[in-house]
Amino acid sequence: MALNRPAFKRPKFERAAWREWLVIVGPAALLIAAAFWLTSRFVQPAPPNTFVFSAGAEGGAYYRYAIKYKEILARDGIKLQVQTSAGALENLSRMRGAMPQASAGFVQGGTTLPEDSNNMLSLGRMFYELVWVFHRLPNDTTQLAQLRGKRIAVGPIGSGTNQLVMQLLRLSDITPENATLVATSAKDALEKLNAGEIDAAFLVAGPEAEILQAPLRSKDIKLMSLAQADAYAMRLAYLSRITLHQGVVDLKDNIPARDVPMIGAGAIVAARDDLHPALQFALAQAAAEVHKRPSIIHAENHFPQSQSSELPMSPVAERFHKSGPPFFQRYLPFWLAVWMDRLVVLLIPVVTILVPLIKIVPMIYSWRIRKRLWHWYEALKKLELDMSDNPADHATHLAEMARIDEAVWAIPVPVEYSDQYYNLRAHAEYVQRRLESQGTVPAASSTAV
């Protein structure tokens, strides 16, 4: 009895490959898509193209620096809206609260509150604001404690100058009870000092400030040489000892006539912590371009400094100050670099999953194909053993052989595995011939390959 099957039946090669790949690659693709989606939930959105910067009085150093920032950022398509203000304290006020009026601004050392660290970051210390003490007292007046009992201009109430000066005077045990403290602007303070209405005036300003030129050249007004400058810098972390070297203001007229030890408060660029990291980076980069230049009190590249005792450092700005611009920022326009940075963040988990999948998917694909063939090899082996153990049960063996033969013809096998498929058919033919050799089935067979 020969097996009843067609003389030729086309093996299922063509559709097998894409079906197998669909079964295996489909779940892998879904896994990658899920990883991409999950990562996208943690990626910062694209930055806005405009934000507000609170500077200072128009014409002052804060305002001039902010305008330079604006010009630099405009090259990258970022619009910086510069607002005038009364100074550091108003800048801080604008950045506080749930509905801030500004996203960034200048902050003078010593003016922040502890709670400002909850929602503000420092982009770095950018320049010094020197504490200038002009007076009409004897030349040996070199300590702030010597101002006890004197009339002293301490800056307008509510200003950064007033806040800083009051801290210095308290350290020197000078209070409203043992001195006359006059709260007035820098311009009025110098006028009163010239007129002899006060004995000393505190000004907080950069060395290039125009208002300093007249008192520095005056024959009646002296600049205090602060003998305890190092001590103040040690007591207040936001202060630094600065030396105003002889002749540095004017070499021809030798102003000042000697080295003058002074103290300076570090001015920082502060930003709200919800300002987009890309804009924090862009602003820090613009500030670095402006403040890296030398001045009469420091060398080139002294600023910006990746340090701040007032506010925690922005991680973005800190990386910039230590390592410079990231890779894409060095070679691509700002917005394209931002897009590439976001794309890299998105692709990292995808690639992490994709690399092992590239190795695993072909292995799973091969295993699935081989498993189909192995199943019928196992069935043939079992049939052979039963033929040896129960040789008289020919009808059952023939029926099982017919079932196996039909199933082998129907196996969908990709063409690249056709050699293994034909090996299985050859082994099926071998078992069929053993059945025929038992003499209970006709010798002719249509199972030849």
Burial of 434 (0-12, 13-18, 19+ CB in 10 A): middle
As a 3-state breakdown, the chain gives helix, strand, coil percent values, each rounded to 5, of 50, 15, 35
d(CA 440, CA 390): 14
- The H-or-E segment that residue 198 falls in is none
Domains of the chain, first to last: 14-35+346-437 (no CATH), 50-324 (3.40.190.10)
Per mean pLDDT, which range of 37-41, 72-76, 91-95, 319-323 is the poorest?
Answer: 37-41
Q: Quick one: pLDDT at residue 431?
A: 85
Q: Quick one: pLDDT at residue 445?
A: 42
d(CA 71, CA 66): 9
Q: Is the pLDDT of residue 10 over 60?
A: no
Strongest mean pLDDT among 99-103, 109-113, 351-355, 417-421: 99-103
d(CA 56, CA 69): 14
Q: Would you call 262 helix, strand, or coil by DSSP?
A: strand
Per mean pLDDT, which range of 129-138, 337-346, 381-390 is the poorest?
Answer: 337-346
441 pLDDT band (50/70/90 cuts)?
Answer: very low
Residue that the structure tokens 């300076």 belong to: 264
The one-character DSSP state at 124 is: E
d(CA 94, CA 105): 9
Residue that the structure tokens 């006890």 belong to: 148
CB 232 within 8 A of CB 109: no
d(CA 60, CA 55): 9
Integer Rg of the chain from CA: 42
Dihedral sign for Cα 167, 173, 177, 180, please.
negative
> Can you tell me the mean pLDDT for 428-448?
63
Complete DSSP assignment for 327-388: HHHHHS-HHHHHHHHHHHHHHHHHHHHHHHHHHHHHHHHHHHHHHHHHHHHHHHHHHHHHHH
φ/ψ of 203, rounded to 5, equals: -125, 140
What is the per-residue pLDDT across 239-267, written as a single tens digit (0 to 9) for each?
999 999 999 999 999 999 999 999 999 99
> Which residues does 110 contact at the CB level (< 8 Å), separation at least 6?
160, 163, 164, 167, 236, 238, 239, 265, 310
* Pairing verdict, β 120-135 and 260-272: antiparallel
CB 235 within 8 A of CB 63: no
CB 122 within 8 A of CB 101: no
Quote the crossing angle between the two packed helices 14-40 and 334-389, to the nearest 10°: 140
d(CA 244, CA 252): 16
Per mean pLDDT, which range of 25-34, 249-258, 365-374 is the poorest?
Answer: 25-34
CB 278 within 8 A of CB 136: no
| Nearest Cα to Cα of residue 270 among 109, 71, 78 | 109
Kindly report whether the peptide bond that precedes residue 100 is cis, defined as omega within 30 degrees of 0. Answer: no
d(CA 129, CA 239): 9
What's the predicted TM-score (pTM) here? 0.70
Burial of 437 (0-12, 13-18, 19+ CB in 10 A): exposed
| Nearest Cα to Cα of residue 87 among 60, 67, 114 | 60
Q: Quick one: pLDDT at residue 373?
A: 84
434 pLDDT band (50/70/90 cuts)?
Answer: confident
Residue that the structure tokens 């910006």 belong to: 304
> Can you tell me the mean pLDDT for 94-117?
93
418 versus 320: which is more confidently predicted? 320
359 pLDDT band (50/70/90 cuts)?
Answer: confident
> Which residues does 357 contact at the CB level (< 8 Å), separation at least 6?
28, 31, 32
